[in-house]
Amino acid sequence: MAERILVVDDDIDSLKLISLLLQRQGYEVTAASNGTQAIARAAAERPDLIILDVMMPDLDGYEICRRLRANPITQPIPIIMFTAKTLIDDKVQGFEAGADDYLSKPTHPAELASRVKALLSRSAAQQRAAAESGAVVAFLGAKGGVGTTTLAANIAAAMQQKEPSILADIRLGQGSLGLALNAPRAAGMVNLLGRAPTEVVPCTIEAELAAHPSGLKLLLSSSRPRDGMLSVNVDSAVAALKGLRGLARYVLVDLGSGLTRLNARLVREADQVVLVSEPSRISLHMAREMLSELEGLGLGRGRVSVVVVNRTPSRAHVTWQDVEQALGQRILAMITPAPELAAQAVEAGMPIVLLQPTSIVATQMVKLAEELAARSTLLARQPMSG
């Protein structure tokens, strides 16, 4: 199938000439003569590349480019700016707006064809890399205090022993991962989410990562209450998850508890969601309601797993079957209580699976990590629903 190129220019003669040149190269060409039309067509048609004139009657090319980059649907589309403006400042402004390449009018047909071919080839390579990139597993608590953070940290540490992994904490103002792992830098996440989506790219993400002695990379939120009052750009958070995929085989994300506007968007970016509950009547009731909400967001049961964490010993023995009956679905794992070991792990700044790898709870978590890794491989081979 021929690659589709959207040409945006208010000069009809220029529009016809560029379209003809591209059609002779075997491309399918669509056209727009103003900015509003260009933005609408780009979102509806999702072309493989956009050639964009700067001087337009309604919106200039820089503003069109910024709007295309701000929309998650059109953000990945490569853009060549094509204009009579030749000053260096004009080109810099184009690149800052999000353009991938810049051509000055008039240009030789061979140069245009070469630039188009090179950019399409680079874009295709990036898409292939994205398809082969890391898997994102999001951890979401049915309510607070059920062990979501502890579980995420241990699964990440277990996965790191076999494949490069990153543990991310997206709980601004309530971040406790950094404290639990004795990490010195705990403002990486808020620094990223304060940026525009187009600035949240692998190099800026890497600059905010902290390192754990185990080799696990960390992207942390602080526990400063004022961070929780910040207005978060959801698109920047989505860009962070997408960028993290290219930096590790597994990306484990602690989303905290409950469904917020941010969480509801991020769970749809994850390959898998681990819903964490405890075996109490209230927690299981809230978990069941959460499962219903996640299904409403388009996450089928193949992408959502339930893990029950026994944080403290209880006289009331709740069986695996009791939990599944209360939830109305199967669970993936039930973790044995180990409060003293958990406390020791926090004091040592080391996940349980590394501190006491032969303990029952560590063995359970390693087995769970292996199951999640296997599911990630299986899900990568099939289209994602929702």
Burial class (CB in 10 A: 0-12, 13-18, 19+), 336: middle
CATH architecture label of 134-380: 3-Layer(aba) Sandwich (3.40)
Residue 385: pLDDT above 50? no
Local confidence band at 386 (pLDDT 50, 70, 90 cut-offs): very low
The answer regarding whether domain 4-129 maps to CATH 3.40.640.10 reads no
Query: Distance (Å, rounded) from C-alpha 313 to C-alpha 342?
Result: 13
Closest CA relative to residue 164, chosen from 237, 255, 272, 245: 245
User: Average pLDDT, stretch 15-35?
Assistant: 92
User: Average pLDDT, stretch 241-252?
Assistant: 93
Phi, psi of 82 (to 5 degrees): -130, 110
Query: Distance (Å, rounded) from C-alpha 326 to C-alpha 254?
Result: 25
Local confidence band at 1 (pLDDT 50, 70, 90 cut-offs): low
Domain limits, CATH 3.40.50.2300, in the chain: 4-129
Cis peptide preceding 106, ω within 30 of 0: yes
Entry pTM? 0.66
Domain limits, CATH 3.40.50.300, in the chain: 134-380
pLDDT tens digits, residue range 291-343? 999 998 888 777 899 999 998 777 667 889 999 999 999 999 999 999 999 99
Q: What is the pLDDT of residue 383?
A: 40
Q: What is the pLDDT of residue 129?
A: 58
Q: Residue 105: CB partners within 8 Å, gap ≥ 6?
A: 14, 82, 83, 84
The mean predicted confidence, pLDDT, of the chain is 89
CA dist list (Å): 377 to 39, 133, 336, 371: 36, 11, 27, 10
What does 67-86 look like in DSSP terms, one character per residue? HHHHSTTTTTS-EEEEES--
Beta-sheet strands, E only, within 124-249: 135-141, 165-169, 210-211, 217-219
Cβ contact 208:177 at 8 Å: no
Local confidence band at 184 (pLDDT 50, 70, 90 cut-offs): confident
pLDDT tens digits, residue range 90-148? 778 888 888 999 888 777 888 999 999 999 998 887 766 555 578 999 999 999 999 99
What does 242-267 look like in DSSP terms, one character per residue? HHHHTT-SEEEEEEEES--HHHHHHG
